[in-house]
Structure 1
Amino acid sequence: MKNTRPGRPVQCRCVGDLPRVTCFKPEGVAPSRLKDVVVTLDELEALRLADKLGHYHAEAAEFMKISRQTFGRILQSARRKVAEAIVEGKSICIEGGNITAHDGSGPASDPGVCVCLHCSYRSAHHSGTPCRTERCPHCGRPLVREGRCTSLR
């Protein structure tokens, strides 16, 4: 499929901490009336680095392997979405993004590990079988090779 988006292609962003919970719902809103706000994994990582850990934008951008300006735009988008969800009583779902996962302790890849970016399940990679053809036994989503860039939708 050809990329029809104008401008430069989205660069892969490093994410060091995958969420264990991927949806937050407000109490007291009927499920039939509940609307979602989707926060991508790179937006969640920007919130974690800047707001939870207190890193400066330049330092956090370096960790995510993006420019400081891009980090600022990602963080602004994430904060806007979280504020919208809280103010308007919407659920926050965490999914998607153009990311590579690693634990921050060194190089971002272990060629022998397949990982679920939704529930953090890990399994050994079987040579000759792409990780994306395997499904997570916990949540049923496709696995990706740890350290590889992936676009999740």
Structure 2
Amino acid sequence: MPRPKKHRRIKCCPTAYYFKPRGIPMCELLENILAEDEVEAIYWADFKGFDHETGAQKMQISRPTFGRILKAARNKIADALINGKALRINQDYFKKLAEE
């Protein structure tokens, strides 16, 4: 049985949660789902331009964990772009933030 995920510090709150290729009906699309920690890692590394060490500190996780999360997120984004898949951001955590 895998270990339960640790609580991670998430600050980024995206304004859109779904991206799809233009001109392809939703019923024909496969989708990749980005977890909230993957969105946060993309935010710190690619949007803010921080290195892995600083991004890991911002998320309060280890640098190797940050690197693994970032690699998984980039892989999902690249797969969606190259193979014409939809990209969905898991909203559960962000809905809880909005309620608080």
Please, what TM-score do these two structures have when normalized by structure 2?
Answer: 0.89
Whether the 8 Å CA contact 1:49–1:55 is kept in 2: the answer is yes
Whether the 8 Å CA contact 2:17–2:91 is kept in 1: the answer is no
Structure 1 residues 118 and 24, CA gap change in structure 2 (3 angstroms): farther
* Greater relative CO (CA pairs within 8 A, separation 6+): 2
- The total of aligned residue pairs comes to 100
Indicate the percent of aligned positions where both proteins have the same amino acid: 37
Equivalents in 2 of 1:48, 1:76: separation in Å? Answer: 13
Structure 2: give runs of 5+ residues left out of the alignment.
Answer: none
Equivalents in 1 of 2:73, 2:9: separation in Å? Answer: 16
Structure 1 residues 79 and 11, CA gap change in structure 2 (3 angstroms): same
Runs of 4+ in structure 1 over 6 Å off: none
Structure 2 equivalent of residue 150 of structure 1: none
Q: Among 26, 36, 44, which residue is 2:39 paired with?
A: 44
Structure 1: give runs of 5+ residues left out of the alignment.
Answer: 100-116, 123-145, 147-153
Whether the 8 Å CA contact 1:13–1:64 is kept in 2: the answer is yes
Q: Going by fraction, where is strand more abundant, 1 or 2? A: 1
Please, what TM-score do these two structures have when normalized by structure 1?
Answer: 0.60
Q: Over alpha carbons, which structure has the higher Rg?
A: 1
Whether the 8 Å CA contact 1:18–1:118 is kept in 2: the answer is no
What is the Cα-based RMSD across aligned positions, in Å? 2.0
| SS of 1:118 mapped into structure 2 | helix
Q: Going by fraction, where is helix more abundant, 1 or 2? A: 2
